[in-house]
Structure 1
């Protein structure tokens, strides 16, 4: 069964070259679906740091894209077509998801996505709220649950607690029973404490490495010197998981990258490797993987009111330049959402 679409084209926000100032909204062909895909009418999509990095060519070492390239990584919307091998979803189902990295393009009126990468939208969230979850939710869950395997009472530092990742990571860490410390500015203390943070450090006036010690885990979202300082507070046998640091040799091996890339990553992460060895800890670069199954886990937690999205603002699709500009400023509390299609909920 499928919805009849009157036109073969749609609006989409794309770039024609890396380092383009902002994506432009153009008319493109609606994507065709494969046997295991669904076509989703995108109601809302969220802006993520990876979108800015992709636009500027920051992921060229890891991912190769052809131009023009429609940007956007996660979404919430309504299924309008299903592939012949799809049995778990039907036309009309409200869903949310994070597309595979080689199939990005959620800043568009329609997106074709494998049914294994989506889940039903949480019943207690609007489409805009649901769109705030997939990328940051999966990233946080995979860092805290899959990699760290947090046990109740263990201590974790989550950097930048008021950001898109931080606001969800704090909640997931508390759901897993952790003692959570986070960094943010004083004006955001009330927000992160409301999400469950046990200890808050004002990064503008305090150095976390001077106040903390013997931590089981650090979830780094900053990279650079902040990542390096994480090894000063980690206990032997602990883990530092980063989404903003550099891929290391372990990452290159896991993703079966060619030898020359393995050598490059080993060279550029030699300092991190030395810090890792000195601290007797483990450094892991996380490149999040889409997972409909884990989105189902998050949906259950959301419907049980254990996790809630934090949204800074919702902007119309036509204001994508403003959305990108604001995202780049780093001032957002929670997520920035683009409203793509108007529907009656």
Structure 2
């Protein structure tokens, strides 16, 4: 089968397209013919080995997982003898970041437990855009921040992969959402349900009088003190992405004057992906896709993604 292989850390120039052996099907595994995958920041860390702390997970001197790719959608090709929930022909999607990665390939063999049936109202490309970004947003908002109906939530970096899902999931949780993005993304963010959209190239959200119960920072380099000043007493800022200094400040600040400063790392969780699928099938959440690339164009896809300006998700067509 064809697969993307990275044998050393670097930029898109270390990406190779190779013929490799098709994975062996274990008794409790499912062989999936991959139709589409997508890129997340975890993929970028696995490619570059940066930040350096990521190497303690991905391998100190070279990538521990030679075939990258976490998000995946596809069709069940075969099932192991102990598999009960799936059969040949089932359409599935999954987050493979906790199961060896590997979705940038024509086939994957994965534990039955990580697979979820694909939303019936999404294409394979759309489904592949969902798992890691949507579950990150869900876990940060519902579980970490415990967002409640009618609370005020600000999403900084609302047009990216996590941000577009965060806007929609905030609305699904019954809260009011203010989205911060650049001029070119205002209409996209408004179309997915933001109550208020602030174009940071035109106006500074810090100059407004509004304060928020929750601020979700998905990118940017604002000092943590700025976000803290816009929180209500008892409010929470959650950092799920941004500059290195922002991440460091979030880790060391903790609780200050009843305002909580938190970092957050996504954890692959099948039941959370099921919850997201239900939101999608109910019409409350939909993926936003910026660009789609073929398997042969993965180096170009990574180069574009690393620039940090994607509107929603960057998707890879595998088959």
TM-score, with structure 1 as normaliser: 0.83
Distance 1:275 1:209, change over 3 A: farther
In 2, Cα distance between equivalents of 1:306 and 1:288: 21
Structure 2, unaligned stretches of length 5 or more? Answer: none
Q: 329-338 or 271-280: which moved more? A: 271-280
Shift of 1:79: 1.1
* CA displacement, residues 46-75 of structure 1 (integer Å, 9 cap, x when unaligned): 111221122110211444364571111101
Shift of 1:213: 4.2
Q: 1:316 aligns to what?
A: 294
1:332 is matched with which residue: 303, 310, 315?
310
Q: 2:222 aligns to what?
A: 225
Q: 1:53 aligns to what?
A: 45
User: What does 1:23-172 correspond to in 2, within 5 Å?
Assistant: 23-58=15-50, 59-64=54-59, 66=63, 69-101=66-98, 103-172=100-169
Q: Secondary structure of 2:12's partner?
A: coil
Distance 1:321 1:227, change over 3 A: farther
Shift of 1:178: 0.9
Shift of 1:148: 1.6
Aligned length: 313
Taking only aligned residues, the RMSD between alpha carbons, in angstroms, comes to 2.4
* CA displacement, residues 167-226 of structure 1 (integer Å, 9 cap, x when unaligned): 111111101111101111122211111111111111223332222543111111126435
Q: 204-213 or 50-59: which moved more? A: 204-213
Shift of 1:108: 0.7
Whether 1:211 and 2:208 are equivalent positions in the alignment is yes
* CA displacement, residues 257-309 of structure 1 (integer Å, 9 cap, x when unaligned): xxxxxxxxxxx977446644334222332221222222222112111111111
Shift of 1:81: 2.2
Q: Secondary structure of 2:159's partner?
A: coil
Shift of 1:92: 1.2
Whether 1:281 and 2:259 are equivalent positions in the alignment is yes
Q: 1:239 aligns to what?
A: 236
Structure 1, unaligned stretches of length 5 or more? Answer: 1-9, 248-267
Q: Secondary structure of 2:304's partner?
A: helix
Deviating 4+ runs (over 6 angstroms)? none
In 2, Cα distance between equivalents of 1:315 and 1:17: 23
TM-score, with structure 2 as normaliser: 0.90
In 1, Cα distance between equivalents of 2:294 and 2:247: 40
